[in-house]
Structure 1
Amino acid sequence: MALNKRPLREVTQQDIDDYARDGAVCLRNVLDRDWIDLLEPIAREVIINKKDVGLLPTIPGRYMARCIEEYRRFVFESPIAEVAGQVMQSREIRFFFDEFFAKPPQSDAKTLWHCDRMGWPVTGTMVPSIWIPLTPIVKANCLEVLAGTQHDDVPYWLFSPNARKMIKPDDRVPHPEIESKRGDPDLRFLSWDMEPGDLLIVHPWVLHYSAGNPTDDWRVAISERVFGDDIRWAPRPDCVNLAGVSFDEMLDGEKPEGSHFPMLWSEDGRADGDADFPRGFATRWPKQEMQGVNEYKAFKELKVKEDAGELSRKDSAPVN
């Protein structure tokens, strides 16, 4: 298989400028088709057929590289870290975590407009989402971005699992209502038709959203999260948890390093292998049928409650 370790096309100055201006850039033809052929069948087995591959039952859409050798290989051998570093102008790229995003055929599940910034226990801007479709994408089911909103320095109150158990502090504001502003000539809404092998790099501060999936096939994507040069630990109780790394180990102001955050790429050619990267998890649980990636089901349950007045809009969870 021609699993390319270098991008099939160069990152251009235009790509760099587009990301800096808009908060997202679509890079075409980065990955060889063989990567998709390797990863897509496994994603369908886990997401659609609910195959138990050892992912955490509590968060069955994350940490694939710890349990699935093909996804581990993708993290350590594919060119995604290189293109992310070049687009962000970062000298080094370290791994954070990976996850599935999926929507069933003819789904009307919509993602609320949000940004990822306050979900991560860090300061800095170089923690993008590298959004990689494993199935063909049309604009109607693509991740959508409100261009330029990464320049708004607003610590929005994110609806992470931890945040939903807390009372919102007075200095944190809910995400803005965007849908009613679609006719505003001063705003630019970006979405893309994409083929497997293309990818998006999305700034952690940019507002983004996705509608349902009007196609007759599952819309399946993976998201690789990485750290660049300016990232430093800044844990808060409302941040997402990271399996195997407690907030106690996230020392304020220190750079993330260690076995859970291997260097995937650097300008000078340094990179860590996967020998020390964890396989599996520290906890054990009873064997049971894998529930798969259940974001769609969870969203529908929340939507029913919201429609019934049992849940406020801010409590709904994003599904990218």
Structure 2
Amino acid sequence: MNRAPLRPVTADDIAAYDRDGIVCLRGMFDADWIDRMGAAVDEAMARPGPHAEEYTPPGGAGRFFGDLDLWQRHAAFRRFVFASPAAEIAGRLMGATRVNFLYDQLLVKEPGTAERTPWHQDQPYWAVDGWQVCSIWLPFDPIPAAACVEYVAGSHRWNRQFNPQHFSDGSPYAGTGLPPLPDIEADRDHYDIRRFDLMPGDCLVFQALIVHGAPGNRLPGRRRALATRWTGDDATFARRPGEVAIPTSDPGLAHGAAMDCDLFPRVWERPA
């Protein structure tokens, strides 16, 4: 299993990430990671954690399943955090000198799933401030663009944060004071929406303020993916008003403290 990316993160990759807020990196994880983590996903789905959710209503077709903090319960996910190339990929794209892990999120849409992932930004869900905050979305199955996450290119630079909503029923988070997100789906032609055909070993890396969502999976293949979240030098812990989803337990940090503690371990540092 490769510890370093299978190919270098290039200046073009960094420029695309900075400009668009999303970059697709091809062939960064070897087959051993994909095979082992794919098996670990199936094991984790058989033993859901306390924050697992089923987003497909009872009796609905397919299955939209999500779970959080798998690294705290499953050795394979913990190994991925500390031994995979993910932290280095995040650090090089963000231009960080150090990278801390925030949390992991498993998102699975079985064939025939109708439920969308609603349009949203990630960072308003999290108790984190800063620009060097990103996600790596790693699929374990071939994913045609028709089932892939979609991104509004450049929306990470709108200089606005929008109120989160619950994936389960679309209800807004309470007490945040943030405005609702514009109805992206009703006005798709107005936006530069990007999506990708992906193969196992490819990954998507996106800045935490980019607006994104995902269709259901009406295709015959599975759509298993792990999203890992990472922070860099300028990220700090933020005690926000209203509902906050992440972290799921108190890290014991003061408002404005660096994201550096047992719950948010430092995983990578740029070589001198």
Amino acid across the alignment from 1:166: A
Q: Distance in 2 between matches of 1:213 and 1:226?
A: 27
Which blocks of at least 5 consecutive residues in structure 2 are unaligned?
Answer: 54-65
Name the CA distance, whole Å, in 1 between partners of 2:33 and 2:259: 28
Q: Does 1:207 align with 2:211?
A: yes
Contact 1:160 1:239 (C-alpha < 8 Å) held by counterparts: no
CA separation in 2, counterparts of 1:241 and 1:261? 12
- 1:182 deviates by 2.5
Partner SS, residue 36 of structure 1: helix
Partner of 1:311: none
In structure 1, give the amino acid aligned to 2:31.
R
1:250 is displaced (CA, Å) by: 2.8
Query: Deviations for 1:291-318, whole angstroms, at most 9, x for unmatched residues?
Result: xxxxxxxxxxxxxxxxxxxxxxxxxxxx
Call closer, same or farther: CA 1:72–1:188 in 2, change over 3 Å: same
Aligned-pair identity in percent equals: 32
**Counterpart among 18, 24, 27 of residue 26 in structure 1:** 24
Alignment-derived partner of residue 256 in structure 1: 259
SS in 2 for 1:61: strand
Match of 1:159 in 2: 165
- Aligned partners of 1:68 and 1:176: how far apart in 2? 38
Please tell me whether the aligned partners of residues 164 and 173 of structure 2 are also in contact (alpha carbons under 8 angstroms).
no
Listed as ranges, the matches of 1:241-280 within 5 Å are 241-245=246-250, 249-268=252-271
1:167 positional shift: 4.5
Larger Rg: 1
Q: Is the counterpart of residue 103 in structure 1 residue 105 in structure 2?
A: no
Shift of 1:221: 0.1
Q: Distance in 2 between matches of 1:165 and 1:194?
A: 32
Provide, for residues 193-246 of structure 1, a one-character-per-residue CA deviation record: whole Å limited to 9, x for no partner: 011111111111111011111221221000101111110111113221424425
| Larger relative strand fraction | 2
Q: Distance in 1 between matches of 2:141 and 2:193?
A: 22
Change in Cα spacing, 1:57 to 1:157, as seen in structure 2 (3 Å) is closer
Q: Which amino acid aligns with 1:39?
A: M
Specify the alignment match of 1:239 in structure 2: 244
Q: Give the AA of the match of 1:97.
A: Y
- Residue 178, structure 1, aligned to residue 181, structure 2: no
Letter in 2 for 1:242: P
For the pair 1:8 / 2:6, whether they are aligned, the reply is yes
Gaps of 5+ in 1: 270-320
Contact 1:91–1:229 (Cα < 8 Å) also in 2: yes
Q: Distance in 1 between matches of 2:209 and 2:173?
A: 23
One-letter amino acid of the structure 1 residue matched with residue 245 of structure 2:
V
Evaluate the alpha carbon distance shift between residue 233 and residue 57 of structure 1 in structure 2; reply closer, same or farther with a 3 A threshold.
Answer: closer
CA distance in 2, matches of 1:166, 1:84: 31
| TM-fit CA distance, 1:57 | 5.1
1:56 aligns with one of 50, 56, 73 = 50
On the 8 A contact 1:119/1:160 being kept in 2, the answer is: no
Amino acid at match of 2:189: G
**Post-superposition shift, 1:253?**
1.4
* Cα distance change of structure 1 residues 182 and 28 upon mapping to structure 2, 3 Å threshold: same
Q: CA deviation at 1:181?
A: 2.4
User: 1:160·1:238 contact (CA, 8 Å) conserved in 2?
Assistant: no
Amino acid at match of 1:257: D
The reply to whether residue 193 of structure 1 matches residue 193 of structure 2 is no
CA RMSD of aligned residues (A): 1.9
Q: Is it true that 1:121 corresponds to 2:119 in the alignment?
A: no
Residue 183 of structure 1 aligns to a residue whose secondary structure is helix
For residues 116 and 22 of structure 1, the distance between their equivalents in structure 2, rounded to whole angstroms, comes to 16
In the alignment, residue 259 of structure 1 is paired with which amino acid?
A: D
